[in-house]
């Protein structure tokens, strides 16, 4: 064995437990998802191959397209807002001021709260009849606002709740990245007469580009996978106005329909979408920066 | 911006972000009748602990906490062990296929569990795990994030240290256990916190894999209570508060470690 590869046996022993788990619980299911997507399959009994039936049904399925559109709208609205708010609050809380630590901690806190609790609090806030938001609005002589019976408003309420949980992570990542911004460079620019807005736009935002890129990628992935908050807060309703791709896959597979083949097909679409969008983003990133060795 | 403006804006931001958690606490201690008559509010004219006692009288709350602790605890131990070992191999061991193995880890990031939950359920069923905690523990143990954190940490440890241990007669595993592991406490702390938090809060997969209310972890139990309590937010918020307290307290006490772990999850 060459010296370069002297650790081969030990390395596979170190990797084996992890590899077994990944293969059994992730890669086999992924392969099997593709098989299922060509099958009519219920929870019990064998599946029968039905060719492209699931796919043609999917393409003609209005609810699927609605779920895809909802997921897209949700992603396009929440990701930029999360990143921009995260950066704005990071710039606000980067410099010393009284109460800074407390402020940071409070914005971070939703990170450790489970999404189910977040959704239940969301319900408490946006319940049409006894919720807090409408209560406060009533006190101001406004409303009641139909957060639950109006589809667009229901979507907005979900987005607001999701922002509450996600901005903290963006803040945390940006604050860490701001430690690497060279203070001398900023001072020099200030001496040259650059105002705060110019500093942010011309110096800080470009320096933080890799961080922003990372945050966009993970937030897009999280948005594609949104399920818990919608399931608990609106259960996809009213009608299908907040049904997302994962909600639909779950309903098909584990709801009354119990259609594993069709549910898996929705899952495969979700996987391919995630893959394509992530790869496109990575390519876009590579055009901006030289590749960095992992 | 003058400091007073920044303090003012920061105060508004902080209040907005604190309000939802604050509302949870207020409602958890508000009497049921008041909630149903006047709606939920940001203050209450009367306070009660009846929402909590009602929960403990009607539901196996302690059992659910026990389940959550057991599942999150076992997942954490398994997760730290397998990800630590894999991260070490990818960072420090020389073998053919190391780059390929790392690419596979990167690629698994792009497989959302949500996309494969149906076949995953079939695999878990075929292994006879449905109805057991292992159905939740085993699929959650290996995480790309855990492997990354470990690999990054080990990359910073000098090779000379490991080589010296080997010269002194340690095996590869011996060098890892006696020389590298004692230096890895910060890494272990971070991995433990993140793994525990993730499993404590996980919802979709436990919802699918744990069908029996006796086996529920806290998020699944909360969803169950949501159905049982309907619009009784007092009881629901009491349970939401109870289930969130452990992590909220841990976060405030160990914020440094959480922040270190989460900020390092930005792949550098």
Cβ contact (<8 Å) for B247 and A221?
Answer: no
For chain A, say whether B223 makes contact (Cβ under 8 Å): yes
3-state secondary structure chain B: CCHHHHHHHHHHHHHHHHHHHHHHHHHHCCCHHHHHHHCCCCCCCCCCCHHHHHHHHHCCHHHHHHHHHHHHHHHHHHHHHHHHHHHHHHHHCCCCCHHHHHHHHHHHCCCCHHHHHHHHHHHHHHCCCCCCCHHHHHHHHCCHHHHHHHHHHHHCCCHHHHHHHHHCCCCHHHHHHHHHHHHCHHHHHHHHHHHHHHHHHCCHHHHHHCCCHHHCCHHHHHHHHHHHHCCCHHHHHHHHHHHHHHHHHHHHHCHHHHHHHHHHCCCC
Q: Is residue A53 part of a domain?
A: yes
Q: Is residue A261 part of a domain?
A: yes
Q: A43 or A15, which is more confident?
A: A15
Q: Are strands A39-40 and A48-49 parallel, antiparallel or unpaired?
A: antiparallel
Residue with tokens 């309420």: A157
Q: What's the pLDDT at B114?
A: 87
For chain B, say whether A235 makes contact (Cβ under 8 Å): no
Residue B12's pLDDT band (cuts 50, 70, 90): very high
Residue B264 has pLDDT above 80, yes or no: no
Quick one: average pLDDT of A230-256? 94
Quick one: average pLDDT of B131-149? 93
Angstroms from A176 CA to nearest CA on chain B:
6
Q: Is residue A61 part of a domain?
A: yes
Quick one: average pLDDT of B210-233? 91
Angstroms from A195 CA to nearest CA on chain B:
10
Give CA–CA dist A217/A79, Å, rounded.
9
What pLDDT, in 10s, does the model give residues A108-118? Answer: 999 999 999 99
For chain A, say whether B100 makes contact (Cβ under 8 Å): no
CA nearest neighbour of A243 among A142, A151, A150: A151
Q: What's the pLDDT at B267?
A: 47
Residue A3's pLDDT band (cuts 50, 70, 90): low
Residue A4's pLDDT band (cuts 50, 70, 90): low
Q: What's the pLDDT at A90?
A: 95
Q: Is residue A293 part of a domain?
A: no
Cβ contact (<8 Å) for B115 and A116?
Answer: no
For chain A, say whether B61 makes contact (Cβ under 8 Å): no
Residue B268's pLDDT band (cuts 50, 70, 90): very low
Residue A291's pLDDT band (cuts 50, 70, 90): very low
What tokens appear for A29 in the block?
A: 């299911």
Q: Is residue A162 part of a domain?
A: yes
3-state secondary structure of A40: strand
Q: Do residues A65 and A146 touch, judged by C-beta distance below 8 A?
A: no
Quick one: average pLDDT of A246-257? 92
Counted across chains A and B, CB pairs separated by less than 8 A come out at: 299
Residue A2's pLDDT band (cuts 50, 70, 90): low
When CB atoms are compared, the residue of A15, A103, A225 closest to B89 is: A15
Residue A39 has pLDDT above 70, yes or no: yes
| Whole-number CA gyration radius for chain A | 24
Residue B162 has pLDDT above 80, yes or no: yes
Residue B131 has pLDDT above 50, yes or no: yes
What tokens appear for B158 in the block?
A: 């000098």
Quote the distance between the C-alpha of residue A20 and its chain's center.
Answer: 28
Residues constituting chain A: 294
What pLDDT, in 10s, does the model give residues A74-131? Answer: 999 999 999 999 999 999 999 888 889 999 999 999 999 999 999 999 999 999 988 9
Q: Is residue A124 part of a domain?
A: yes
What pLDDT, in 10s, does the model give residues B31-78? Answer: 998 988 888 888 888 999 999 999 999 999 999 999 999 999 999 999
Residue B139 has pLDDT above 80, yes or no: yes
Q: Is residue A15 part of a domain?
A: no
The percentage of residues in chain B with a pLDDT greater than 70, rounded to a whole number, is: 99
For chain A, say whether B259 makes contact (Cβ under 8 Å): yes
Give CA–CA dist A259/B61, Å, rounded.
34
Q: How many structural domains are present in chain A?
A: 1
Across A38-42, A228-232, B7-11, least confident range: A38-42
Q: Is residue A161 part of a domain?
A: yes
Q: What's the pLDDT at A72?
A: 97
Q: What's the pLDDT at A292?
A: 41
Domain extent at residue A111: 39-287
Please report the domains of chain B, with CATH numbers, ordered by start residue. Answer: 62-227+246-264 (1.10.3720.10)
Mean pLDDT of chain A: 90
Give CA–CA dist A87/A84, Å, rounded.
5
Which CATH number characterizes residue A212's domain? 1.10.3720.10
For chain B, say whether A207 makes contact (Cβ under 8 Å): no
Q: Do residues A94 and A178 touch, judged by C-beta distance below 8 A?
A: yes
What pLDDT, in 10s, does the model give residues A126-163? Answer: 999 889 999 999 989 987 899 999 999 999 999 999 99
Using a CB-CB distance cutoff of 8 angstroms, which residues of chain A are in contact with residue B226? 120, 232
Cβ contact (<8 Å) for A110 and B21?
Answer: yes
Quick one: average pLDDT of A64-74? 97
| Whole-number CA gyration radius for chain B | 23
Q: What's the pLDDT at A66?
A: 97
Across A191-200, A279-288, B31-40, B118-127, least confident range: A279-288
Q: What's the pLDDT at A187?
A: 82
Q: Do residues B114 and A244 touch, judged by C-beta distance below 8 A?
A: no
Q: What ipTM is given for this predicted complex?
A: 0.94
Give pTM, 2 decimals: 0.93
């Amino acid at each position: 064995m060459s010296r370069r590869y002297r650790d081969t046996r030990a390395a596979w022993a170190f990797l084996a437990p992890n590899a077994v788990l990944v293969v059994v619980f992730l890669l086999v299911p992924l392969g099997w998802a593709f098989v299922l997507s060509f099958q009519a399959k219920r929870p019990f009994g064998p599946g029968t191959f039905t060719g492209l039936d699931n796919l043609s049904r999917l393409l003609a399925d209005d609810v699927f397209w609605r779920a895809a559109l909802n997921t897209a709208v949700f992603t396009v609205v929440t990701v930029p807002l999360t990143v921009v708010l995260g950066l704005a609050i990071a710039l606000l809380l980067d410099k010393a001021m009284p109460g800074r630590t407390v402020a940071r901690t409070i914005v971070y806190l939703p990170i450790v709260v489970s999404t189910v609790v977040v959704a239940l609090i969301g319900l408490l806030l946006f319940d049409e009849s006894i919720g807090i938001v409408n209560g406060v609005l009533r006190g101001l002589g406004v409303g009641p606002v139909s957060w639950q019976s109006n589809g667009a408003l229901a979507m907005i309420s979900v987005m607001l709740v999701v922002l509450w949980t996600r901005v903290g992570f963006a803040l945390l990542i940006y604050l860490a990245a701001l430690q690497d911004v060279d203070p001398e460079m900023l001072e020099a620019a200030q001496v040259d007469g650059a105002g705060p807005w110019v500093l942010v736009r011309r110096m800080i935002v470009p320096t933080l580009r890799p961080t922003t890129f990372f945050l966009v990628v993970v937030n897009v992935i999280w948005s594609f996978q949104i399920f818990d908050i919608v399931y608990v807060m609106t259960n996809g309703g009213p009608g299908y106005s907040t049904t997302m791709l994962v909600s639909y896959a779950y309903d098909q597979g584990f709801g009354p329909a119990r259609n594993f083949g069709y549910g898996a097909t929705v899952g495969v679409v979700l996987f391919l979408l995630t893959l394509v969008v992530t790869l496109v983003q990575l390519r876009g990133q590579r055009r901006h920066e030289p590749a960095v060795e992992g | 911006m003058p400091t007073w403006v920044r303090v003012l804006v920061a105060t508004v931001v902080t209040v907005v972000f604190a309000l939802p958690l604050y509302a949870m606490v207020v409602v958890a201690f508000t009497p049921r009748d008041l909630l149903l008559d006047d709606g939920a509010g940001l203050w209450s004219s009367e306070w009660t602990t009846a929402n909590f006692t009602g929960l403990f009288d009607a539901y196996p709350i302690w059992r659910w906490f026990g389940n959550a602790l057991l599942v999150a605890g076992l997942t954490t131990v398994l997760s730290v062990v397998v990800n630590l070992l894999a991260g070490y191999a990818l960072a420090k061991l020389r073998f053919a296929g190391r780059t390929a193995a790392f690419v596979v880890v990167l690629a698994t990031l792009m497989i959302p569990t949500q996309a494969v939950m149906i076949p995953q359920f079939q695999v878990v069923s075929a292994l006879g795990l449905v109805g057991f905690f292992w159905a939740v523990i085993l699929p959650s143990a290996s995480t790309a994030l855990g492997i990354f954190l470990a690999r990054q940490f080990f990359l910073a440890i000098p090779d000379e240290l490991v080589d010296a241990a080997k010269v002194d007669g340690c095996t590869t595993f011996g060098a890892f256990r006696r020389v590298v592991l004692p230096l890895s406490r910060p890494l272990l702390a971070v991995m433990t916190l993140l793994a525990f938090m993730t499993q404590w809060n996980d919802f979709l997969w436990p919802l699918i894999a744990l069908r029996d209310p006796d086996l529920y972890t806290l998020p699944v139990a909360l969803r169950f209570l949501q159905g049982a309590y309907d619009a009784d937010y007092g009881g629901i918020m009491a349970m939401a508060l109870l289930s969130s307290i452990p992590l909220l307290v841990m976060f405030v006490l160990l914020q440094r470690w959480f922040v270190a772990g989460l900020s390092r999850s930005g792949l550098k």
